[in-house]
Structure 1
Amino acid sequence: MSSSPWKVIGASGFVGSAILARLRAEGIEADPIEAPRLSTHATDAKTLIKEARRLEAIIDSLADSFAGAEVVINASGLAAPSQQDLAPLVGANALLPAVIAIAAQRTGIKRLIHMSSAAVQGNVEVLDSTPVTQPFSAYSFSKALGEEVLLNLERFINKQAAAGAAPGSAHSDFPAAPASAPATVAPHHALELCIVRATSVMGRGRRTTEAFARFASSPLASVAAGNHRTPIASNYALAEFTVKVGAFDGHLPSIVLQPWEGATAKSVLVDAGRRLPLQIPASIARVAVAAGYAISEALGDRFQAPVRRIELMWFGQDQDDSWAQEHQLIPTPRVSEVLRDAHTALGKKQDARFIS
């Protein structure tokens, strides 16, 4: 049985593969774990936790895969911002994280890093690491629900551990896992759980990145006048930051935000399109966004997601990455490189002013 100190769930996916590659590049032993597929019609945290606790066969399977690990990274999930069907979204983005956390606690794992999305905070002026969420789509709702589930489990685990009855320990009603070879869980052991909120992540081979480069290369590319910071980032920087968080020598906060990579709403369009985007007066752009939201609301919020994407393109969004700054965990910025590579991959003609 493998005894690698790190395990990556969903290592074949876009984010998971980047994290696994980063771990191996740093000489850290890590094993990939395939994520089970779950679906559920539950839409509240309490019900999801109850449902997760009943999935003993999956808990056992995951616990068996966790053998010998100290850090587990959950990079699985369903990244489908346009999808409306809640059952598979909640299954992948909320129910599965709960099952993973339960299995990790009952196996005595030291630290679980869960990859979430800054989309859970919606159109707040500044993204941060507070538990407040404002989901605006089925996808962001499922990710926000996943965070709520994990924060609830964290409080329960800490409470039980403080009382000497940590889940998986001898005095707990919740047995150690896997059932075939139960782990030894100390009575005061509490899984350290940290949610990493990824921002708008771009990378080679991602359809979202290709579509962004294609749009940025077109005459339709536009931005609101001004110097607006944007949360668009690279998968390389996210992977580097996640590994830094997992290896952090100290107590982790419950939620951390992926740090800003220095990009602006204008710079990402220039990098991805190799041309200057149309600049729209900020006042006109704000009126257009407000009108879009009003029309969407009148039609049952049907266009919330696309209007939000336009708003992000025009105005970007600021980030409070003070925790990462304070602890010197800022990764190497590579978003410009990723977007320029995406443009080159399109094979489109470049504006001579931007060939460098």
Structure 2
Amino acid sequence: MRRIVLLGGSGFVGSAVAEALADSSDLVLLPAPRFSTPARTEADLARLADGAAVLPHLVEAMRGADVVVNAAGNPDASSLDEDALFGANALLPAVVLRAAREARVPRVVHVSSAVVQNDKPVLDSSEDLRPFSAYSASKVMGEVMAREVMQGVEVVRYRPPSVHAPTRRVTRMIRRIAISRAASVASPGTQRTPQALLPNVAAAIAHLATVAGPVPRVVHHPSEGVTVTSLMKDLSGGRTPVRIPRWLAILVVRAGKTLGRLHRPTAANARRVELLWLGQEQDVSWLTQNGWTTPVGPEAWQMLARQEAS
């Protein structure tokens, strides 16, 4: 059994990861330090990370670990508190990685997000990073801090898409749309959308933490086969959404993105609408290529809707 140190084990994703790892590892839950910083550049963040007062504490807690999983961070995509976002999503990863290097931990799994690639036509495991909001910029910088070459440490950046569970605010928001008269998708309605169930994301992270052999530096979550129409139908209990012309959906999304340059919260909302209407493709993932499969399937979306409704 591997000794795994998990940061963020009390959070939304982290608590599910802790459950997924409970029976297969010697798991240590390590509280993640809280940071807030005006630093935005790699150089400034690296300097702050090198001088962080909590480094000795983290190093000591990580000694003897086989893997460190950083599932901590600020998940609020609509937040305007850039200092808090960069503290949690950029500075914290830099501090964690430095501590892991000092403790001689062989592997670090850093939980990032597909948001770092924004509206790239096909989500993949490349270094094509496209920040579009304060939140996405903080996640991009977190990856920048995590991708530096560190001798002796295997750093894996994992990118889940939008993650859903009955307690998730965005899940409840989509369900409210799905059961309303506003439920709609862009024609033809068969386009895939990058959405994932929490148990599947937790299982993927657990797999990356425990699998033997080398793992790529970036691993994106595989498609779970969700289409814009199936998402609306499953979350509404079977109601078919209205199909709107594709050209109209594109026009509305573009207008929202343009407005988002002036009003930042609009950028995040425009991106959510884009995923619900137009979807986005996902490249084949290393996880799928190596035989990993999701523990829960499509029927779990319908169960999720029933749980949320109750």
> CA–CA distance in 2 between the matches of 1:13 and 1:302?
23
Match of 1:134 in 2: 130
Match of 1:319 in 2: 282
1:9-59 superposed Cα distances (whole Å, 9 cap, x missing partner): 0000010010110111x432212111110111100112101110011x311
- Structure 2 CA distance for partners of 1:10 and 1:193, relative to 1, 3 Å: same
Quote the offset at 1:123 in angstroms. 0.7
Q: How does 1:1-356 map to 2 (within 5 A)?
A: 5-24=3-22, 26-55=23-52, 57-152=53-148, 155=149, 157-158=150-151, 190-226=152-188, 227-274=190-237, 275-297=239-261, 299=262, 303-334=266-297, 336-338=299-301, 340-347=303-310
Quote the offset at 1:67 in angstroms. 2.9
Quote the offset at 1:209 in angstroms. 1.5
- Which letter maps to 2:183? A
Is the radius of gyration larger for structure 1 or structure 2?
1
| Percent identical residues | 36
Quote the offset at 1:276 in angstroms. 1.1
8 A Cα contact 1:117 1:199, kept in partner = yes
Q: For 2:274, what is the secondary structure of its paired residue?
A: helix
8 A Cα contact 2:2 2:210, kept in partner = no
- Structure 2 CA distance for partners of 1:254 and 1:49, relative to 1, 3 Å: same
> CA–CA distance in 2 between the matches of 1:45 and 1:304?
24
Deviates more, 1:63-72 or 1:91-100: 63-72
8 A Cα contact 1:234 1:335, kept in partner = no
> CA–CA distance in 1 between the matches of 2:114 and 2:165?
17
- Which letter maps to 1:64? E
- Which letter maps to 1:270? K
- Which letter maps to 1:88? A
Quote the offset at 1:301 in angstroms. 5.3
Aligned residues: 308
8 A Cα contact 1:46 1:149, kept in partner = no
8 A Cα contact 2:175 2:235, kept in partner = yes
TM-score by length of 2: 0.94
> CA–CA distance in 2 between the matches of 1:108 and 1:326?
29
Quote the offset at 1:263 in angstroms. 0.8
- Which letter maps to 2:34? R
- Structure 2 CA distance for partners of 1:344 and 1:324, relative to 1, 3 Å: closer
Quote the offset at 1:256 in angstroms. 0.5
Q: For 1:287, what is the secondary structure of its paired residue?
A: helix
8 A Cα contact 2:9 2:71, kept in partner = yes
1:35-94 superposed Cα distances (whole Å, 9 cap, x missing partner): 110111100112101110011x31111112213310110000000100011101000001
RMSD of the alignment, in Å? 1.8
8 A Cα contact 1:214 1:343, kept in partner = no
8 A Cα contact 1:204 1:338, kept in partner = no
Q: For 1:130, what is the secondary structure of its paired residue?
A: coil
- Structure 2 CA distance for partners of 1:113 and 1:312, relative to 1, 3 Å: same
- Which letter maps to 1:35? A
Q: Runs of 4 or more off by more than 4 Å in structure 1?
A: none
Q: For 2:13, what is the secondary structure of its paired residue?
A: helix
Q: Which blocks of at least 5 consecutive residues in structure 1 are unaligned? A: 159-189, 348-356
Q: For 2:54, what is the secondary structure of its paired residue?
A: helix
- Structure 2 CA distance for partners of 1:253 and 1:204, relative to 1, 3 Å: same
Quote the offset at 1:334 in angstroms. 3.6
Q: For 1:8, what is the secondary structure of its paired residue?
A: strand
- Which letter maps to 1:205? T
> CA–CA distance in 2 between the matches of 1:273 and 1:107?
49
Q: Which blocks of at least 5 consecutive residues in structure 2 are unaligned? A: none
> CA–CA distance in 1 between the matches of 2:196 and 2:214?
26
Q: For 1:29, what is the secondary structure of its paired residue?
A: strand
8 A Cα contact 2:186 2:277, kept in partner = yes
1:214-233 superposed Cα distances (whole Å, 9 cap, x missing partner): 22111111111221111111
Q: For 1:39, what is the secondary structure of its paired residue?
A: coil
- Structure 2 CA distance for partners of 1:240 and 1:294, relative to 1, 3 Å: same
- Which letter maps to 2:275? L
> CA–CA distance in 1 between the matches of 2:107 and 2:49?
19
- Structure 2 CA distance for partners of 1:52 and 1:215, relative to 1, 3 Å: same
> CA–CA distance in 2 between the matches of 1:295 and 1:41?
25
